[in-house]
Amino acid sequence: MSAVERAPVVLIEGRSELMALASLLLQYPDRELLSAVDELRAAVQALPVAVEAAGLERLVDWMGGTDAVTVQRHYVDVFDLRRRSGLNLTYYLHGDTRKRGMALLTLKQRFRAEGLVMGAQELPDYLPLVLEFAAEAGPGAGEAPLRQHRQGLALLSAALHDADSPYAAVVDVVCSVLPPMTAADLQAVAALAADGPMTESVGLEPYAPDRPGAPAGYLQECSS
């Protein structure tokens, strides 16, 4: 089931743990992360029963049962090289426009206000970072950026399902505990899926440098 079809918001204990785990699972699978598969599996199994964790278990099993090069190549393929499944949320809503620059600045200010320390080259809309913020700041203020970019999460989920990627399960689980999209949201998602985000290669200069772990060249990459 795609994120578009998910059920209403689910209030669960362990919500912060879910967001923290999702953040980890969506990070680049380097040697350190892949060596922690047993810990990741235990974290998935410890999630509340209200969470549909079967997809997460399959993802962790795939990460642990597949050679590292294959896992890493898949990650780069779906998140770094495909425009429609990148991990930078503001792109889905604003494309490469001035509005995206303002959205990035607003996110960065929100993180700073809540005490989340970012690296100098980090883009604040990088989904693992947004999930880390949700885990630390809680369902209210912490999950506000996820709710704001619900349409982008739906598009990301659909793209990952189209690519038959096990990472789709992570986005689906996050969406399953967020409020459902409205009819207007669904119409906007359909329009964005058909036409793609707007393009305007100005106004993003403060955020242009890529950071380690984020999709390489994502602000400039226009092919998929």
Q: Give the pLDDT confidence score for residue 6 in this predicted structure.
A: 31
pLDDT averaged per 10 residues, the chain (length 224): 34 79 96 95 88 93 97 97 92 87 92 82 91 92 93 94 97 93 84 69 43 33 27
Which residues lie below 8 Å from residue 21, measured CB to CB, with a gap of 6+? 40, 43, 44, 47, 56
Give burial (CB, 10 Å; 0-12/13-18/19+) of 129: buried
Q: Give the pLDDT confidence score for residue 117 in this predicted structure.
A: 78
218 within 8 A of 91, measured Cβ to Cβ: yes
Q: Give the pLDDT confidence score for residue 194 in this predicted structure.
A: 77
Q: Give the pLDDT confidence score for residue 93 in this predicted structure.
A: 86
Supply the pTM of this predicted model.
Answer: 0.80
Domain boundaries, the chain: 3-207
Q: Give the pLDDT confidence score for residue 11 in this predicted structure.
A: 43
